[in-house]
């Protein structure tokens, strides 16, 4: 299947051309192909199909054309080629592989030709590209202004390819062939000096100088008659070369009103034009950004600078303030145009903007050419020797900007855009100046500038709170100040309290036609369909950060699809990339995204996928952090396994993920709880147990208390026992022994009632630990030994080596506390003999520590010290600071104070690391 724009608009299927139908349907198809991969609004299609006032039933006509195109594509089995025509809100979206579109293949072949070093290779690629053309671009479509402009752009690209091919022929010495290529094009485009200059050169090199001179004079007459200018530098140089060495160019004969470019400039008004709009008032801050803009605009190579940032961040305000402050650096004037890239109005036509520029530069209306190509040529000619500032506001694509770039090395172009315009960086070495939200102090200061310092000074805390709820976004801050100015009876506290309600915040941050939501709407309207779908899904994320896996879970896509969408959203400044595969949404952007999805069922399903993604990812991290252990819980019957789960390659990476995601996991668990999903909430909490073990003194009790409430809401004794077991251990480690015992005494019975043998064993071990920790008499010590022995019997009967090792580890400690050193050593030795696959680092360190202390108690001082040194070293090397402190404590107890400075230093360092967490 192939789609053609380079000639009659057509579709070729496997059996030949498809019957598209009338010209207006071809026009609709042409616009969808020109913007393939992007949403095309009904308003844009209306403008394509009707020049004048459209009929009342225009939308119905468009729907009919789309319906018939869909039928045509279905008959041709277009979907098997990856072609889909979908509806997105009030717009249509044509998705297809770029290789199926002749205009894209043409562009790719030309790009390859440009890069080819060998003239023969270059010529072959360019000839293949031009062979794709079957006539004038977009022929057979209705010639609306939008499509005429697009056809002009495509024709300009074709002519550039013709010139490149002629150059390739000339580089290969094929001058006659180059002349045959250029002759008809020069006749068809008499105002294009580059074609004429190329033809003059190749005719001269082919020893046909008289013909070369004739081409020059014919072109000079046309330029004089049509534009009132003399030939430019390139054509003049070709003419001089054709005259031959030592020949003085003959002065041109008078041709009436012809003028040189210098004469045109001389007749301009004496004042320098300034098209800058009014500079926004109450501007504040941006000193660093202004300095960066000045630095980027420095130089003598005609700098192009892109000021980029999210909607409402103040890009235009910054640029206009900077431009107004630097007007004297541009003695020939300042031009400005709104490209309307992110607005409800149609995109501004480059040719129309250039006509406004030419008028401002003093070109009389009768001298402004009709064709877009000639208008562009005259603009570049007039700006070639000037020092101008050109401000192009609100650009969406690089293609909007390129026709408006001045030619002079003394000119500076500043473009504002919500996207990075990387194409402009690649093609024109544009420099990028990013603009982000304001900091806290500048946010409050901007509020004061708009509202008045008296009101912000009277309520400084509330002013800071309003600034925080506005997220430092200047547009939001200005609208908030405007709302307060309109309601003098409101205090800043009143506004802050209202803004704190997420459901009304965006509504409050809107004033007439200005607001955060409307600005974001214009940004998201131009997103590709898949990026827009992922953006809407991200609004359901209750946490602070997303990655490609969580985004895929929310959207029901794959991590690869999500990564592409996230990159698009970053480019549109709807997301901020804070690290590798780590993205953050501004609070107001999150609220806007959340409001786009009005389907409660879709929202609930997206969040359920996210909950299960968290559980699956955490279980994968547990498997790497604590390999071989018993699973923390069984999965619920309706668990949805994600399409893909992150791979973890080391304990450090797995624990690092737990550390980075702890806050988000807490927020996601809270969201699951609020959504009536307690069976997910407690699992999200408990699945972090390896990180709890390694960072036990990091205030885990509140998280587990909440999880305990979730299990009771589920009326699930299995879940309750699991949470009680972990919570009791945490409380023990925090020194809250009596609280721990109150919870741990209930856990074994609950586990037994649920038939959870290993859960019962683990609960008994943790109960023994709490009893041992609070042992002040032989009764508690005996109870701890009995609990641990019972746990060992259960684990042995279940043939679970991991839980056996856990029970033996703590039984060894109990024996050690009771002074039964040989039994302590034997229990630790038995545990270590169960195999390394069951030895978590923390367990191995503690078992070796107990063995070392047992050996010391048996009088084997040297062997005991060696075992303790090994345990301390492994703990330090793996970051298990608690284990390092325990082993070093034992070593310090046996060493003389003067013999242990290194041990004391290491002991102090490990304790300091624990306190710093």
**pLDDT tens-digit readout, 548-594:** 999 999 999 999 999 999 988 888 888 888 888 888 888 788 888 88
User: Contacts by 693-698 with C-beta closer than 8 Å and gap 24+?
Assistant: 693/626, 693/842, 694/655, 694/842, 694/879, 694/880, 695/659, 695/917, 696/730, 696/733, 696/734, 696/882, 697/733, 697/734, 697/914, 697/917, 698/917
Query: Which pLDDT score is estimated for 843?
Result: 82
Whether residue 253 is predicted with pLDDT greater than 50 in this model: the reply is no
Query: Which pLDDT score is estimated for 657?
Result: 93
Distance of CA 480 to the CA centre of its chain: 28
Which of 205-219, 486-500, 752-766 is modeled with the greatest confidence?
752-766
Whether residue 714 is predicted with pLDDT greater than 90 in this model: the reply is yes
Scanning 452-545, the segments in alpha helix (DSSP H) are: 453-458, 460-469, 474-486, 492-499, 502-508, 516-524, 529-538
Whether residue 261 is predicted with pLDDT greater than 60 in this model: the reply is no
Whether residue 418 is predicted with pLDDT greater than 50 in this model: the reply is yes
Query: Which pLDDT score is estimated for 502?
Result: 77
Q: What percent of the chain has pLDDT over 70?
A: 94
Which of 245-249, 445-449, 641-645 is modeled with the greatest confidence?
641-645
Determine the Cα–Cα distance for residues 110 and 162; give it in Å rounded to an integer.
10
pTM score of the predicted model: 0.58
Query: Which pLDDT score is estimated for 266?
Result: 42
Q: For residue 186, which of 173, 203, 171, 169 has the smallest C-alpha distance?
A: 203
Q: For residue 573, which of 436, 414, 430 has the smallest C-alpha distance?
A: 436
Determine the Cα–Cα distance for residues 21 and 64; give it in Å rounded to an integer.
12
Q: What is the mean pLDDT of residues 84-96?
A: 87
Determine the Cα–Cα distance for residues 702 and 681; give it in Å rounded to an integer.
13
Which of 29-33, 104-108, 365-369, 910-914 is modeled with the greatest confidence?
29-33
Q: What is the mean pLDDT of residues 708-728?
A: 94
Whether residue 112 is predicted with pLDDT greater than 90 in this model: the reply is no
Tokens of 531: 């990026």
pLDDT digits (tens, 9 = 90+) for 738-778: 999 999 999 999 999 999 999 999 999 999 999 987 656 67
Determine the Cα–Cα distance for residues 96 and 99; give it in Å rounded to an integer.
8
- The more confident residue out of 278 and 414 is 414
Inter-CA distances, 761 with 25, 746, 747, 756, 802, Å: 74, 13, 10, 9, 11
899 pLDDT tier (thresholds 50, 70, 90): low
Region of poorest pLDDT, from 257-271, 784-798, 829-843:
257-271
Region of poorest pLDDT, from 66-80, 500-514, 697-711:
500-514
pLDDT digits (tens, 9 = 90+) for 646-684: 999 988 899 899 989 999 999 999 999 999 999 999 999
DSSP E strands in 322-404: the ranges are 334-338, 389-395
Query: Which pLDDT score is estimated for 259?
Result: 38
**Mean pLDDT, all residues of the chain:** 86
807 pLDDT tier (thresholds 50, 70, 90): very high
């Amino acid at each position: 299947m192939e789609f053609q724009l380079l000639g009659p608009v057509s579709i070729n299927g496997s059996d030949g051309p498809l019957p598209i139908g009338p010209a207006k349907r071809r026009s609709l198809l042409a616009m969808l192909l020109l913007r393939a991969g992007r949403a095309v609004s009904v308003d844009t299609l209306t403008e394509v199909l009707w020049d004048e006032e459209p009929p009342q039933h225009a939308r119905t006509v468009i729907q009919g054309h789309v319906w018939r195109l869909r039928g045509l594509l279905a008959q041709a089995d277009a979907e098997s080629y990856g072609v889909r025509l979908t509806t997105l809100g009030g717009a249509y979206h044509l998705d297809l592989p770029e290789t199926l579109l002749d205009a894209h293949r043409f562009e790719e072949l030309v790009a390859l030709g440009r890069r080819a070093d060998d003239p023969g290779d270059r010529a072959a690629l360019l000839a293949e590209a031009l062979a794709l053309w079957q006539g004038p671009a977009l022929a057979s479509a209705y010639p609306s202004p939008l499509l005429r402009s697009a056809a002009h752009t495509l024709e300009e690209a074709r002519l550039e390819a013709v010139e490149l091919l002629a150059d390739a022929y000339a580089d290969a010495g094929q001058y006659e062939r180059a002349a045959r290529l250029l002759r008809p094009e020069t006749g068809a485009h008499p105002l294009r000096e580059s074609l004429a200059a190329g033809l003059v050169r190749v005719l001269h090199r082919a020893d046909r100088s008289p013909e070369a001179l004739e081409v020059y004079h014919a072109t000079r007459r046309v330029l004089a008659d049509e534009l009132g200018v003399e030939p430019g530098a390139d054509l003049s140089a070709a003419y001089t070369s054709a005259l031959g060495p030592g020949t003085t160019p003959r002065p041109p004969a008078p041709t009436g009103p012809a003028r040189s470019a210098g004469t045109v400039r001389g007749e301009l008004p004496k004042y320098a034009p300034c098209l800058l709009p009014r500079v926004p008032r109450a501007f504040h801050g941006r000193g660093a950004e202004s300095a960066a803009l000045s630095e980027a605009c420095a130089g003598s190579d005609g700098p192009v600078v892109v000021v980029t940032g999210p909607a409402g961040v103040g890009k235009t305000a910054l640029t206009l303030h900077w431009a107004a402050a630097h007007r004297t650096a541009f003695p020939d004037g300042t031009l400005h145009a709104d490209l309307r890239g992110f607005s409800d109005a149609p995109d501004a036509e480059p040719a129309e903007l250039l006509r406004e520029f030419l008028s401002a530069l003093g070109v009389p209306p009768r001298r402004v050419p009709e064709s877009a190509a000639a208008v562009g040529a005259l603009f570049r000619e007039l700006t070639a020797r000037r020092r101008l500032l050109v401000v192009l506001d609100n650009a969406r694509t690089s293609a909007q900007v390129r026709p408006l770039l001045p030619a002079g090395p003394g000119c500076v172009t500043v473009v504002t855009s919500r996207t990075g315009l990387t194409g402009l960086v690649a093609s024109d070495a544009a420099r990028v100046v990013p603009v982000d939200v304001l900091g806290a102090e500048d946010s409050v200061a901007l509020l004061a500038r708009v509202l008045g310092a008296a009101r912000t000074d009277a309520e400084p805390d509330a002013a800071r709170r309003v600034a925080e709820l506005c997220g430092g976004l200047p547009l939001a801050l200005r609208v908030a100040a405007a709302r307060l100015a309109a309601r003098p009876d409101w205090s800043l506290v009143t506004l802050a309290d209202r803004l704190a309600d997420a459901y009304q915040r965006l509504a409050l941050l809107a004033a007439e036609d200005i607001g955060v939501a409307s600005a974001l709407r214009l940004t998201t309207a131009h997103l590709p369909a898949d990026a827009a779908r992922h953006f809407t899904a991200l609004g359901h994320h209750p946490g602070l950060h997303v990655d490609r896996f969580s985004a895929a879970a929310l959207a029901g896509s794959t991590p690869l699809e999500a990564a592409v969408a996230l990159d698009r959203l970053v480019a549109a400044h709807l997301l901020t990339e804070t690290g590798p595969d780590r993205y953050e949404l501004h609070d107001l952007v999150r609220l806007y995204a959340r409001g786009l999805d009005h389907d409660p069922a879709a929202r609930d399903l997206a969040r359920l996928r996210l909950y299960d993604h968290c559980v699956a990812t955490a279980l994968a991290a547990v498997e790497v952090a604590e390999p071989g252990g018993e699973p923390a819980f069984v999965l619920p019957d309706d668990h949805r396994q994600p399409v893909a789960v992150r791979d973890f390659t080391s304990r450090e990476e797995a624990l690092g993920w737990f550390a980075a995601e702890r806050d988000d996991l807490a927020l996601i668990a809270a969201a699951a709880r609020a959504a009536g999903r307690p069976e997910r909430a407690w699992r999200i909490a408990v699945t972090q147990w390896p990180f709890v073990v390694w960072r036990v003194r990091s205030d885990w009790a509140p998280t587990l208390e909440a999880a305990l409430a979730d299990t009771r809401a589920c009326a699930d004794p299995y879940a309750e026992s699991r949470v009680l077991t972990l919570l009791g251990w945490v409380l023990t480690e925090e020194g809250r022994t009596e609280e721990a015992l109150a919870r741990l005494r209930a856990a074994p019975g609950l586990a037994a009632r649920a038939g959870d043998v290993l859960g019962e064993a683990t609960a008994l071990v943790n109960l023994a630990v709490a009893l041992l920790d609070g042992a002040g008499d032989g009764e508690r010590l005996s109870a701890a030994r009995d609990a641990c022995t019972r746990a060992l019997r259960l684990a042995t009967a279940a043939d679970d080596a991991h839980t056996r090792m856990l029970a033996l580890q703590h039984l060894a400690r109990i024996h050690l506390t009771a002074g039964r050193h040989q039994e302590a050593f034997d229990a630790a030795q038995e545990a270590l003999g169960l195999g390394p696959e069951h030895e978590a680092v923390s367990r191995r360190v503690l078992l070796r520590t107990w063995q070392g202390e047992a050996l010391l108690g048996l009088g084997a001082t040297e062997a005991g010290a060696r075992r303790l040194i090994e345990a301390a070293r492994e703990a330090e090397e793996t970051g298990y600071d608690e284990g390092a402190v325990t082993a070093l404590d034992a070593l310090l107890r046996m060493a003389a104070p003067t013999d242990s400075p290194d041990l004391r230093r290491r002991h102090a360092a490990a304790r300091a690391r624990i306190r710093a967490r």
